[in-house]
Copies of this chain bind each other. A is one copy, B any other.
Amino acid sequence: MNSNPTPLEPKAGRESVRRHNLSLVLRAVHEEGEATRAKVAARVGLTRAAVSSLVEQLLASGFLTESGKTFSGQAGRPGTVLKVARTGPAGLGVEVNIDYVSVCVVDLAGTDRVRLTEHLDNRGVPPHEVLGRAARIAGRALESAAEQELRPVGVELALPGLVSAGTVRQAPNLGWSRVAAEDLFARALAGRRPGGPALPVSAENEANLAALAELWFGGLGSVRTFLYLTGEIGVGGAVVLDGELLRGAHGFAGEIGHVVVEPDGPECRCGSRGCLEQYAGQSALLRTAGLDENAGAAGVAELERRARDGDQRAMEALEAAGAKLGRVLSGAVNLLDPDAVVLGGIYRGLMPWLSPAAGRELTGRVVSGLWSRDSGRLRASSLAGDAARGAAALVVRDVLADPVAYAEVARRA
């Protein structure tokens, strides 16, 4: 959230300069948490007068609030404290996954304010129906948001597949191929809010958004370059380099779940054989441990319970999956040289049984020797980071980057 840290010079055109500087001021307050006009001016390098004028506009359009204002209505006094608004403009994140839909509303400060998750099986259901469900759930979350006086100004969809230009090219575990997800969802949501303003909708791979949530809200400290894996029915992955998502040449980077482990292994839904997902995905893990591979979250909880109780088969299944994970991760680390590998989704709770074998592979196979078993570079994701929150926070980041673009929606929403 630190791009464009300096004010633009006037030659760039009056309107675009003001637009840029509005973002500069808004982001300064966002990053400080709270700040006086004087502090903002010092931080962004604009005059007090210029900052005051920008602040007035941001207050009027509901992006900022101030406290400490005197009763006589002397807005803009030096002593008043500015904060980003905790009501009004917000971001809506909608994660459509294989066996759940999770919707999240995040305010401008980045706080998770509404969360609605429904566990349901989206496999084999036509895409427009799945996205219709998601819009219904999103509609309910918008009602909850309205009760808190929050008005989301944009939607980010988190989808478990290859997403490019608003379209899901392929989502093997949902059985989707070339689905115009942004359009379908936007239409379904508009249908639920007749007369309401159309919210801009965009879509992104869910692991990418979970990785951003980890970066923004997890406890990564100084780590800015990492590999993120999320264990679900599929195994999602994302690469973050110096604080930015690696999207690749076509937006399809990070597909670590489809890195081959055993060339002649079981068929994968992606069309290949022996992908990591076939050994370390949720179904494979449950099956190997002797549980029903379709048991979902309850099955994962049971697996964890058994491992904790020392059940041999459960522990062996996790050990074997950990070794395959570690093997693929060692290759990825040799290729990318990240500071850390973060395991999320179902892996978070299963770390005690996955990480010893995964750590052994990393220790033995990473050529730099930096991944010794006690290096702390292999870690569980925080509870704070998930794809729905990352999605909602991405909308907020876009608002902070150009509030003017959202002012009209914010007024009407």
Contact = CB atoms under 8 A, between A and B. Distances in A.
Interface of A: 9, 162, 169-170, 172, 225, 237, 239, 241, 246-256, 258-260, 263, 270-273, 275, 327-328, 330-332, 334-339, 364-365, 367-370
- Most chain B C-beta atoms within 10 Å of own C-beta, residue among A237, A239, A253, A364: A253
A367 B335 contact: no
Nearest to A324: B263
Contact of A335 (B263, B336, B339): B336
Contacts of A336: 239, 246, 248, 253, 335
A334 B364 contact: no
A335 B237 CA distance: 8
A335 to B, nearest CB: 6
Contact of A328 (B249, B331, B338): B331
A249 B367 contact: no
A250 B252 CA distance: 25
Contacts of A369: 169-170, 271
Contact of A251 (B170, B253, B332, B337): B337
A contact face: mostly helix, strand, loop, or mixed: loop
11 contacts: A170-B367, A225-B248, A241-B241, A247-B337, A248-B336, A250-B368, A254-B335, A256-B334, A258-B367, A259-B330, A259-B331
Contacts of A169: 368-369
A239 B225 CA distance: 15
B337 A258 contact: no
A41 to B, nearest CB: 17
A6 to B, nearest CB: 10
Contacts of A247: 337
Given A9-B9, A364-B272, A334 B255 contact: yes
Nearest to A368: B252
Contacts of A337: 247-255
Contact of A331 (B241, B250, B331, B364): B331
Contacts of A367: 162, 170, 172, 252, 255, 258, 270-272
A249 B242 CA distance: 8
Nearest to A330: B260
Given A331-B328, A335-B335, A364-B272, A225 B249 contact: yes
A325 to B, nearest CB: 13
A250 to B, nearest CB: 6
Contacts of A330: 259-260, 272
Contacts of A332: 331, 335
Contacts of A256: 334-335
A270 B333 CA distance: 14
